[in-house]
């Protein structure tokens, strides 16, 4: 069964890399966006298992985004994604899912 | 009472990609060990051997303080901030990834293996403007002394980062004993043995062993062999 992971980050280049990395693993389906509006729309129309908050999301936006996303799906797991690349991705996702 | 965690060399994660032979003290890439996620804000300690001319193509980072210490050979670095540099043994490089930076790292020599330590710390402030720095260190200062090579302060010895962390390197004669005082209350120390054998707080450590100590304000240190070289990472134990 695939785990659907939504990545939100402001840097378009990093978002492209994250999309490639997440979709490289058959057990994951990655959806990557740069704006909060896109993220909310994705959450309204897809069964998201995990949200990764990436770079450039300031504290106020993060608070609002967390409230809106958990408002749509209270049990949704939302974690910070640090690093921007492949180094920490697997460990962070495994820790969150386990 | 102080607490500790011992990471023996042969318990590290290992990935041999042919051109890259990597050992991970903490979970990294495909190595996942839930018991080895971080030591305080210290998230990554990679010990990489890279074949001549080989390396990592352009790849992004964000919100991480990335420190590179070449132990042998030289690294050719290029990044999206316009920096292009070679970092050799005896030097230290730091990059605050902040809002996002892309860089490449290659072995600068075609006929010599590169051995580097790459260390990632969680920053104490997110989404900072990315920055890059490198420094040549006076390696003579570290003879029988913990030479500070990194701190949170721009006007202090070594490079600086966005975190209340201090790194020190020392190279010791056999039998040399000293005490290291932790720089900030609440910090712990992760000691990584680059070479030789040492005893820290009664624990005998060999090449590439790691020992994390916390809930204390100092550690005792003794060099057991003539070639003992140690990196101390004094880091906050609480994640921001």
> Which residues of B fall within a CB distance of 8 Å from A16?
none
Span B194-213, pLDDT tens digits: 999 999 999 999 999 999 99
Predicted pLDDT of residue A14: 87
Place of tokens 């200062």: B141
Residue B168: is its pLDDT beyond 70?
yes
Strands B159-160 and B147-151 turn out to be: parallel
**pLDDT value of position A84:** 65
Domains of chain A: 3-92 (3.40.50.2300)
Give the model's confidence band at A60: pLDDT under 50 very low, under 70 low, under 90 confident, else very high.
very high
> Which residues have C-beta within 8 Å of that of residue B215, sequence separation ≥ 6?
B1, B2, B3, B188
How far, in Å, CA of B117 to CA of B28, rounded? 14
Domain B13-136 listed as CATH 2.60.120.10: yes
pLDDT of residue B123: 96
Which residues of B, range 77-116, sit inside 8 Å of A by Cβ?
97-100, 102
**Closest residue in B to A62 (Cα–Cα):** B126
Q: Minimal Cα–Cα distance from B114 to chain A, Å?
A: 20
Residue B180 in contact with partner chain A when CB distance is under 8 A:
no
Q: Of all residues in chain A, what percent carry a pLDDT higher than 70?
A: 99
Q: In terms of pLDDT, which residue wins out, B173 or B99?
A: B173
ipTM above 0.85, yes or no: yes
Q: Do domains B13-136 and B139-236 have the same CATH topology?
A: yes
Pick the CATH number of B139-236 from 1.10.10.10, 2.60.120.10, 2.40.50.140, 3.40.50.12780: 2.60.120.10
Nearest to B114 by CA among B233, B19, B33: B19
Interface test with A, best of B24, B62, B99, B126 (most A CBs within 10 A): B62
Which residues on chain B are in Cβ contact (under 8 Å) with A80?
63
According to the model, what pLDDT value does residue A55 have?
Answer: 86
- B64 in contact with A, Cβ within 8 Å: yes
Average pLDDT of chain B is: 97
Q: What is the pTM assigned to this prediction?
A: 0.95
């Amino acid at each position: 069964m695939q785990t659907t992971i939504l990545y939100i980050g402001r840097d378009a280049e990093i978002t492209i890399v994250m999309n490639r990395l997440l979709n490289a693993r058959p057990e994951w389906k990655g959806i990557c966006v740069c704006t909060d509006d896109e993220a909310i729309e994705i959450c309204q129309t897809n069964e998201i298992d995990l949200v990764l908050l990436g770079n450039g999301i300031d504290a106020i936006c993060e608070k609002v985004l967390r409230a809106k996303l958990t408002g749509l799906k209270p049990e949704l797991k939302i974690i910070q994604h640090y690093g921007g690349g492949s180094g920490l991705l697997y460990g962070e996702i495994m820790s969150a899912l386990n | 009472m102080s607490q500790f965690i011992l990471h023996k060399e042969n318990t590290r994660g290992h990935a041999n990609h042919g051109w890259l032979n990597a050992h991970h003290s903490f979970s990294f890439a495909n190595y996942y060990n839930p018991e080895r996620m971080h030591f305080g804000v210290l998230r990554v300690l990679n010990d990489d051997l890279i074949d001549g001319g080989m390396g990592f193509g352009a790849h992004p980072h964000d919100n991480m303080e990335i420190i590179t210490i070449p132990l042998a050979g030289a690294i050719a670095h290029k990044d999206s901030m316009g920096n292009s540099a070679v970092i050799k043994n005896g030097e230290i490089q730091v990059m605050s990834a902040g809002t996002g930076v892309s860089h490449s790292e290659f072995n600068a020599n075609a006929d010599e293996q590169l051995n580097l330590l790459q260390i990632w710390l969680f920053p104490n402030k997110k989404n900072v403007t990315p920055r890059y720095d490198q420094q040549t260190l006076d390696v003579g200062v570290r003879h029988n002394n913990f030479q500070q090579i990194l701190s949170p302060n721009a006007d202090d010895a070594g490079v600086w980062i966005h975190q209340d962390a201090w790194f020190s390197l020392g190279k010791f004669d056999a039998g040399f004993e000293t005490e290291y005082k932790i720089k900030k209350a609440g910090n712990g120390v992760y000691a990584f043995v680059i070479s030789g054998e040492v005893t820290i707080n009664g624990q005998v450590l060999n090449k590439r062993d790691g020992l994390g100590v916390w809930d204390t304000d100092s550690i005792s240190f003794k060099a057991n062999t003539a070639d003992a070289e140690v990196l101390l990472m004094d880091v906050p134990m609480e994640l921001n």
